[in-house]
Structure 1
């Protein structure tokens, strides 16, 4: 029975009790005093994030929060405002008392209306995901081609979708997790038409599952390819994925485009990852929490597959890899209590020390990584449509929905946010983050590696003076406090933006806190990683080592005098789409995330 019909009847009939299933999954409706009618629903808390294609973002069609449902054991569900159950873990069994319906953004997009939550109680805490049985495929995927109510097949071939999952998506996730997650299609079903539409995605998933015999289980994923004909089917997002709690939880998702980066992105949500987004502040790297100087721009990390979906399936940031537990200890060096200088190999090499981790007094992790045209980042050299920087990137770890934030190391004023996609730290320019606790300087950049120095304010003198650059640059880039909360996401321009101009002269440092970081699994080493010349070579999958590296001893030498070095900023070259290595995984959980994409030469829904 469809949840909205259950609620309609229960709200209209005083004293009626509708039991959809027994035990903790029972759904009941009643009138409490003959006047104010309420409904009590018991079920699993499920969240899903709806994605918007880039074209929609340019038109102002964005999703600011996930969809949240309470789903009973029989598959019936009711949508509730996400904020009303904030703080409750996905996968928990909850009992919610509901009032009337509320108009919100999702309802305007064709989803079932959300119901006001008058009370919410956790009946049973979320259970950890079970272990995936041993085998050649840890995360089996069932693919179903679906035309929801009102739609017709769009001509996409089942074989093409299966090939995308088995080739590019599987390669991506195996590489990024060091083989911990292996994806493969174990069942595939051609076009079927459902009575359920996109307005109730849980009903759509459940009907498809019942029709093809899919059964949920550890690491098992149900992937629907939803027709793109017509494009404006009510409630149909560009993609939608249930948010999981780990690599073994399994999950449900749908996509409306046969694009490897999109499928890999949605599977990342199943694994428990949020978005890789950008933090943009008005002429500074950070500003205090709640400041109007900053905004969190959803999806605005083009280097990472969990950012916007386009023709590049970018490597996971260090923040995302650490969240999954697949960031090898051998790839990471941790900044010590005073001054730390390290040489980072390009992230795409898959060997050597590639990440510098910095943790502030509040426990927030910051990450430095060097992205240049090596391995998975080879496109930065000649296929760089958006003129993204080669250079050292600064990220900060975050919470849902933005679990990785890319900080702008060469910030523009607010007027230039829309076209500013150049975010690498400028060599020789100290950047103050973490409320003034950390000062980060890129000392030198070469094709083989980048040397960086981190100074903790309480234990070291101010950074050494910066030699006069060939182009004017700020002496210190600063911010203040913790980054601001989420605001309207930024929309990248389709035309390649011009290179950033130099920022104004020296700025008095203000406190800055930054989150997020980019990294990717790499070959495990033995012992603690050393700061030395990085080794080159193509990226290669390795066994994951989710061991937090020990803090380095404080450096005793004086801070290295910054050396001016120009990081390459290649212009966009030919827009040929290379074969993408990508692998797909689904995690457990109850949140659903939606994705966005950039325009490409390939048609996408």
Structure 2
């Protein structure tokens, strides 16, 4: 459930319109409420369901402004025509101080809202940026005795969310804690959302709008608080506010920070008793038995996803809206006609193909987005848990008010329920058609290897019909056939200019025999035929489409003369007798069992051309082939007939095995809490291995590296402190088979060093500073440093840019030894340095 609330960032001070400064008409009315003029920039706020609220309901819109002193004031009624980041002026009834004290909202004076400046052009995550600082605050509301999260748990919460957004953004968006968590007790009610943020700002020193994030964790068991609340930024760079009531829900933390980045809800359209596939109706709103559900898209991180251990992917449309997709990962279709686009799996590797297809309905102008969801990567556990089949999803952008996307339902009357409450089967399957509400868009799909899928989009304007059936043309190349001799017949299936070639099977008939082959991606086909009789015959090629509702069948034929041929028999062997592989060349023993074969030449050709040739002796020939890469190689063995015999051919297939490999891994550079590690990988094989090696943890891709000449360096991202069980998997290449090994990789906290400079002229009165610098590896450390005398801590200060000044306490005269102690953080180890001072009276 979403509760929308607007909060403003004031760029001017408050203007009081009531009391002494009120206009005469207002001053004459002693009962008139105080009117105050406010001005500022607007920020939208979204909320998780409160206890007792059902997911999918909505509860209205509130608004407010952030005054010049940084105080947030909630305002009711500031909704129409107001967008996040816009500058507005408004008059409200009541005093801001009174509303703040009561934890209530001010009311807008009707007709006084005015937009003084449009929202600036939003920034996107087009390039990699430094980690975004997150100021973590723990506010104990005193209403329960629930467990208090430790500093390490809070740091891990932020780090887990950072890992998620780094994965979604290809490393361009990350987060880090800005310092040690700030902890305090509070007398506020958790329903005072604005008050909680005001108090957290005052306690932590956080300033909204400077690119950072304020994350408030409420200890509120038993108070009926929301699970999450956050501001929706106007872009990815502004930052924002987040309130959480739990630190153990990684999907919730990732989603609330996603709202800070400018993302809205992921909603869904439910229609279980009607054939309607689109949200739009003649009235513009859904009608029973169809309805829209806020936060209902269970396969999107921006949904109400509290039950996810592994947050699912952000939709392709959501990624595109904040600049997380590159131009080559996006395609647009508009106008009329039919277009075929191949879509890569959304949760697959980055830069692997088109992820987001934008389709504009020519009849309504509504923009639909198409993405390919496959149970791989971050989507694997969610889709398997929901029993969602792989396939295309169709979404509307924007969707409901306050939302970013609305996923539609290609199978409205089919249902796979989770506790009988949600329709979770929303992927378009082969053979099905999705149609827009106007009928101007029709989308079909065909699965491809490696989880890819073809989206076949047909657009038709008003009064036009969809060009669903495309006419195909089948052609045959001229060829010579021989009785009892195998000849490869070639041809093409053509679907029209500028159109992806049809998919299907071609069957070639001649002299009572039939042979079939699949049409290649470029539209060509090659079929081996062996006519049993000679003379004049009809050679016929027939195309059968895979999708008969998309392509028409077609055929062609020609009359050919089938000549008498010399039979060609072939036996594969090798010099060692083993099967051919990438390091063992094949040898072909060719026999020509027909009288009169005394001379001539036998040739072997493959896809790359001529492979071998040998003379015929005693009706036979032996041909040694060159080394071939692993895989299937179609070959044609041809006898030229010599002086007196007839020619003959034989088509066959040679399977060349890949050679084996073994993978070994070492640590080239050990990782630590703040430093990324580097793995060295060696792939041993009879051939120099090439390709890609992946580092996996629990089936999740951690990093990849390129193998060249059997070796690779894999640069790991930042890993949490602890021991990581990794799998290093070499994918293999055309000639070298895959292999894998495991690695237990310890990640220790980064070593810290403390330098302390003792003051001179120390007296018993104390107060002189000990200047401290702490380094975490090569970088300034964060955290807290303290000054101990014996077992007692006398001063404790937070590091700023790795530095602090510790003031000496009162000390007795003489030489005194003190300990400067750095406590460390979740990622940096502690360290200590002693300083000695001479104290005079």
Q: Identify the TM-score tier after normalising by the shorter chain.
A: 0.5 to 0.7
Can you list the C-alpha shifts for 1:72-107, whole angstroms capped at 9, x where unaligned? 22344443335x432112334433233589xxxxxx
Selected match of 1:72 from 62, 67, 76: 67
Count of residue pairs brought into register by the alignment:
444
- For 1:262, the equivalent position in structure 2 comes to 252
Distance 1:61 1:177, change over 3 A: closer
Distance 1:238 1:268, change over 3 A: same
Following superposition, the deviation at residue 415 of structure 1 comes to 14
- For 1:345, the equivalent position in structure 2 comes to 344
- For 1:155, the equivalent position in structure 2 comes to 148
- For 2:453, the equivalent position in structure 1 comes to 450
2:30 is paired with a residue whose SS is coil
Structure 2: how far apart are the matches of 1:75 and 1:531?
A: 58
Would you say 1:331 and 2:320 are equivalent positions?
no
Judge conservation of contact 1:372–1:447 (CA < 8 Å) in 2.
no
Distance 1:27 1:317, change over 3 A: farther
Structure 2: how far apart are the matches of 1:578 and 1:257?
A: 27
1:408 is paired with a residue whose SS is coil
Provide runs of 4+ in structure 1 moved above 4 Å: 55-58, 123-132, 149-153, 413-417, 577-583
Judge conservation of contact 1:81–1:117 (CA < 8 Å) in 2.
no
Would you say 1:51 and 2:40 are equivalent positions?
no
Distance 1:47 1:367, change over 3 A: closer
Structure 2: how far apart are the matches of 1:22 and 1:141?
A: 24
- For 1:88, the equivalent position in structure 2 comes to 82
Selected match of 1:300 from 296, 301, 325: 296
Can you list the C-alpha shifts for 1:361-407, whole angstroms capped at 9, x where unaligned? 354321222211212222157xx333233221111111541111100
Can you list the C-alpha shifts for 1:265-322, whole angstroms capped at 9, x where unaligned? 0111111111011022443112411242442211111111111223131111122112
Distance 1:455 1:220, change over 3 A: same
Could you say which structure has the higher helix fraction?
1
Selected match of 2:442 from 404, 429, 439: 439
Structure 2: how far apart are the matches of 1:392 and 1:187?
A: 43
- For 1:252, the equivalent position in structure 2 comes to 241
Judge conservation of contact 1:427–1:562 (CA < 8 Å) in 2.
no
Judge conservation of contact 1:275–1:401 (CA < 8 Å) in 2.
yes
Q: With a CA cutoff of 8 Å and minimum separation of 6, indicate the structure with the bigger relative contact order.
A: 1
Distance 1:427 1:419, change over 3 A: same
Structure 2: how far apart are the matches of 1:352 and 1:562?
A: 27
Judge conservation of contact 2:182–2:203 (CA < 8 Å) in 1.
no
TM-score, normalization: structure 2? 0.48
2:163 is paired with a residue whose SS is helix
Distance 1:380 1:531, change over 3 A: farther
- For 1:430, the equivalent position in structure 2 comes to 433
Runs of 5+ consecutive residues of structure 1 not aligned to the other structure: 1-20, 102-109, 466-529, 533-557, 565-576, 584-605
Structure 2: how far apart are the matches of 1:22 and 1:410?
A: 50
Would you say 1:98 and 2:87 are equivalent positions?
no
Judge conservation of contact 1:223–1:254 (CA < 8 Å) in 2.
yes
Could you say which structure has the higher strand fraction?
2
1:188 is paired with a residue whose SS is coil
1:319 is paired with a residue whose SS is helix
- For 1:473, the equivalent position in structure 2 comes to none
- For 2:381, the equivalent position in structure 1 comes to 379
Would you say 1:212 and 2:212 are equivalent positions?
no
Distance 1:355 1:212, change over 3 A: closer
Judge conservation of contact 2:227–2:245 (CA < 8 Å) in 1.
yes
Following superposition, the deviation at residue 357 of structure 1 comes to 2.1
2:203 is paired with a residue whose SS is helix
- Aligned pairs for 1:453-492 (under 5 A) are 453-458=456-461, 461-464=466-469
Structure 1: how far apart are the matches of 2:548 and 2:176?
A: 50
Distance 1:267 1:29, change over 3 A: farther
Judge conservation of contact 1:50–1:63 (CA < 8 Å) in 2.
no
Distance 1:342 1:158, change over 3 A: same
Larger Rg: 2
Judge conservation of contact 1:260–1:313 (CA < 8 Å) in 2.
yes
Judge conservation of contact 1:441–1:562 (CA < 8 Å) in 2.
no
Judge conservation of contact 2:143–2:220 (CA < 8 Å) in 1.
no
Structure 2: how far apart are the matches of 1:272 and 1:50?
A: 14
Distance 1:71 1:150, change over 3 A: farther
Selected match of 2:157 from 156, 164, 188: 164
2:324 is paired with a residue whose SS is coil
Following superposition, the deviation at residue 228 of structure 1 comes to 3.5
- Aligned pairs for 1:223-262 (under 5 A) are 223-232=215-224, 236-258=225-247, 259-262=249-252
Following superposition, the deviation at residue 70 of structure 1 comes to 2.6
Distance 1:159 1:56, change over 3 A: farther
Distance 1:153 1:210, change over 3 A: farther
